[in-house]
Amino acid sequence: MKSPIWGGKDIVALKHIEGVETIGESWEISGVPGDETPVVGGEYDGWTLAQLIEKFGASFVGKKNYEVNGTNFPLLIKFISADDALSIQVHPDDAMAQRVAGKPFGKTEMWYLVGAHPGATLFSGFKRDLTVEEYDQVMAENRLEDVMARYETKVGDCFFIPAGQIHSIGAGNLIIEVQQSSDLTYRVYDFNRRDAQGNTRQLHTAEAREALNFKSRGDYRTHYEDRDNERIQLESCPQFTTSVYHLTEPLRANYADVDSFAILICYEGTATLRDNEGNETTLKAGESVLFPATTQWVDVTPTSEGKFSCVETYTLG
């Protein structure tokens, strides 16, 4: 759990956490060094993802993941809750991350909105193509927000944020973020905010300028047809595939043709999950679960009133 200056109250409510008022990020499944999430329960209680990959190899993460990434787990899963806007920022691609920071992954990510307070907005991309010279002038004149695409948000909105795309999550949003396993963020602008000690946060002006893609993409919102009791694909890119489920009846999630682990992130309701090897667990709102690459299928049976809703992700392998 992380509590930055922009952190909100929605994760606290979703997870029924006592003793804290705000949480900005809940790192659900992470292999980032220094921020590894441990296994909870069972024979491998307390183990990290790197330890599991070292023991089980391709049977845990999939053949291609293991060949390419070794014990580096490729994805990072978060809940993000904002009561104030996050900085305007950009992330590097893999090549820049490796060259500049010595990190294995850049950061391509996806946002799925699971909560949006009245008036909530976010920035995603530039309104129009910019030249580097135009960008420099905009920054010098403190007009960055004028050239960024702002969206009013609602539950179910989805935004794909490839490395190099400028963006910022606004106040009032609760988001599931699926991203590459990277903590590399280059702050472009932070609204001149100061922390409790009166200090402004560091900006990464030169790195951001190098990482930025100055081309616009028109409409940055992902468009999809939402239906109950089906797997609805949201995004598919070289780094991950994501889908959403809204279930009122049992459904079998099939992974027989997927050479990858699979992750379910629940944000509504409760369900019983049973896989082809006979493993059974309960998943409820605010929780996430990872199935290894050996999993052929998972039967998902809603057990609460209303809908069981979750986001699913895996790699292409």
Starting at the edge strand found earlier in the chain, the sheet holding 25-29 runs 25-29, 75-82, 173-180, 109-116, 158-161
Which pLDDT score is estimated for 317? Answer: 60
pLDDT digits 0-9 by tens, 33-88: 999 999 998 899 999 999 999 999 999 999 999 999 999 999 999 999 999 999 99
Q: Which of 139-143, 195-199, 299-303 has the lowest mean pLDDT?
A: 195-199
* Confidence check: pLDDT of 196 > 80: no
Q: Is the pLDDT of residue 146 over 70?
A: yes
Identical fold at 10-30+74-211 and 232-314? yes
Q: What angle do CA 313, 316, 317 make, to 5 degrees?
A: 120
User: Does residue 200 register a pLDDT over 90?
Assistant: no
**Three-class DSSP category at 211:** helix
List the domain boundaries for the chain. 10-30+74-211, 232-314
For the CA atoms of 226, 107, 179, 57, the dihedral, rounded to the nearest 10 degrees, stands at: 130
pLDDT of residue 56: 97
Indicate the CATH number for domain 10-30+74-211.
Answer: 2.60.120.10
CATH of 232-314, one of 2.60.120.10, 3.40.630.30, 3.60.70.12, 3.30.420.40: 2.60.120.10
State percent of the chain over pLDDT 90. 91
Angle at CA 274, nearest 5°, toward 271 and 276?
155
Question: In the numeric block, which tokens belong to residue 86?
Answer: 């996050």
For the four alpha carbons of 48, 51, 56 and 61, in that order, the dihedral sign comes to: positive
pLDDT of residue 74: 97
Tens digits of residue pLDDT in 242-267: 999 999 999 999 999 999 999 999 99
pLDDT at 123 over 80: yes
Counting every residue written for the chain, the total comes to 317
Q: Which amino acid is at 76?
A: L
Q: How far is Cα of residue 22 from the mean position of the Cα atoms in its chain?
A: 19
Element (H, E) at 67: helix 63-69
Q: Is the pLDDT of residue 4 over 80?
A: no
Q: Is the pLDDT of residue 93 over 90?
A: yes
Query: Do residues 89 and 185 touch, judged by C-beta distance below 8 A?
Result: yes
Q: Is the pLDDT of residue 193 over 90?
A: no
Average pLDDT over residues 82-95: 96
Q: What is the pTM (predicted TM-score) of this model? A: 0.95
Q: Which of 73, 83, 62 is nearest to 7 (CA)?
A: 83
pLDDT of residue 202: 86
pLDDT at 310: 98
User: If 0-12 CB within 10 Å is exposed, 13-18 middle and 19+ buried, where does residue 225 land?
Assistant: exposed
Mean pLDDT value across the chain: 95
